[in-house]
Amino acid sequence: MPIGVGAEPAFKYPAQYLHQVPARSPTLTGEKVLVIGVAGTGKSYLVKKMKRLKVNAVDADEGLATFVDGEGSEVEYDPHGGAQWWKSHYYVLRLEKLERLLRKKGTVYLFGDVGGQPGMRNGLVDVAHLFDRVYYLNAPARLIEERLARRMDNPFGKNPEEVKGVMKHRVKLEETARRIKFEIVDATLPVNEIIRILTRGAVQPAPR
């Protein structure tokens, strides 16, 4: 059942966490599924594969999120900014676009890792309660490092500071996912098996 007024999410937030979460949205139409995972866990590939299977899969990096500075003004990502740049810039959701996505009819799968700006509740974990199901893609650190090093379609993760940041973020995000009881998915599984898990068998990709 979609999460709306009076509905309970599939997972429970600890009492000390509830004050950080915005109020639930009014009645949503269709099932909405959130898939969170750090860079290098295969989110973009899953989106592409699911789209080919006629599944409404959306990548948060494609217009639903943006970088902002400490004042909240949108800025372009600087792949050469280094540690100092990351200390004063944040990756946040465009909440108005997220709201439009959630109100669309039909099942939607949103993939992303949007940390948000401290105190602003504009990251994906902050709005996870608006989704019917939430999954966390879990992958070992070594595999993530290898994927970041060899991928050619994304400049993020090409300098040591960013890789270090991903590894640190991975530990915190996994702790949060387990504490809030997101469904943990092994990102090392074959992609077709991951799709079956995420869709609860509704989509059965043909074996290669």
Q: Between vectors from CA 54 to CA 48 and to CA 60, what angle results, nearest 5°?
A: 45
Using pLDDT thresholds of 50, 70 and 90, give the confidence band for residue 208: low
207 vs 20, 41, 149, CA distance in Å?
43, 21, 28
Residue 12 forms part of a structural domain: no
* 207 located within any domain: no
**Position 191 pLDDT exceeds 90:** yes
Structural domain contains residue 46: yes
Predicted local distance difference test score (pLDDT) of residue 54: 94
Tokens of 199: 């869709």
Q: Say if 65 falls within a structural domain.
A: yes
**Lowest-confidence pick of 13-17, 63-67, 127-131:** 13-17
The answer to whether residue 15 sits within a structural domain is no
| Residue 156 covered by a domain | yes
pLDDT at 14 over 60: no
Residue 43 lies inside a defined structural domain of this protein: yes
Percent of the chain residues topping a pLDDT of 70: 86
| Residues of the domain holding 129 | 30-198
Average pLDDT over residues 9-34: 51
The Cα 31–Cα 117 span in angstroms is: 27
29, 129, 146 from 141: Cα distances, Å: 37, 27, 9
As a whole number, mean pLDDT of residues 143-155 equals 87
Structural domain includes residue 205: no
CATH number at residue 179: 3.40.50.300
SS3 content of the chain, % helix, strand, coil (to 5): 35, 15, 45
Domains contained in the chain, number:
1
Residue range 84-115, pLDDT digits in tens: 888 899 999 999 999 889 888 889 999 999 99
Residue-wise pLDDT for 118-145, tens only, equals 888 889 999 999 999 999 999 999 999 9
| CA 188 from centre of chain | 17
Nearest in space to 30 (alpha carbons), one of 107, 97, 102 = 107
pLDDT at 3 over 50: no
